[in-house]
Structure 1
């Protein structure tokens, strides 16, 4: 199977949600990941901290997306035979309910 990186792009204020909404989102992700595990399409995934840095031409700037309205809030590494198969698996990602944009890309295996 090939590996695919799924990046979750959400509104930059994704960390400013109620505790109840956050718990509901976490539960939705747990259930979604359980379906991916059951189908053999899950390798790993984690949320990302909102704070970070950006490096461009060797220079460090504050926060990765200070002037942008969206940021990368998390990632998954999925397993699938093709981009088309991975796309089918991603179509029911719970982040679509909150307006997120997902980016799915094959990881090039440099060990071959």
Structure 2
């Protein structure tokens, strides 16, 4: 089962304050542990929302909203993709994670990633073939 682990933003991460050397080392060690355990699929930190944009869809219209975005508690500062056996295993790994925002309260959200079988009959054989082609093309981009 794949899970996306979302590190919620803080006022500091939104201000563009970079993590300390100590935190980078701790997170690097944790990421290495995840990789050695065979569960790490991907991980990255994100620039603050001031460097981002949102596209709002309303009918046929599209509008662009430039960051920064107001609700810091709803923003994401980084993520991991893990392949684990269960939600409970993901929770146990998150509990071992270094505190992502030292000096303030922090939250890490755990969300399961859909797999093909989750979509049922609506995910036709043609759609499955297309998904496989897209995944193979995406692998070439990394």
TM-score by length of 1: 0.82
Alignment correspondent of 2:55: 55
Contact in 2 for aligned 1:10/1:99 (Cα 8 Å): no
Alignment correspondent of 1:88: 92
Q: In terms of Rg, which structure is larger?
A: 2
Superposition RMSD in Å: 2.1
CA distance in 2, matches of 1:108, 1:74: 20
Pairwise CA distance, 1:42: 1.0
Unaligned runs of 5+ in 1: none
How far does the alpha carbon of each residue in 1:42-94 deviate from its partner, in whole angstroms, 9 at most, with x for none?
A: 111011111200122222111152x1233211110011111111111111222
Pairwise CA distance, 1:7: 0.8
Alignment correspondent of 1:16: 17
Please, which of 74, 77, 80 is the counterpart of residue 73 of structure 1? 77
Pairwise CA distance, 1:22: 2.3
Deviation larger for 31-40 or 92-101 = 92-101
CA distance in 2, matches of 1:45, 1:32: 11
Q: In structure 1, the residue corresponding to 2:88 is in which secondary structure?
A: helix
Pairwise CA distance, 1:96: 5.9
CA distance in 2, matches of 1:13, 1:60: 25
TM-score by length of 2: 0.66
Contact in 2 for aligned 1:4/1:107 (Cα 8 Å): yes
Alignment correspondent of 1:5: 4
Q: How many residues align?
A: 107
Contact in 2 for aligned 1:9/1:100 (Cα 8 Å): yes
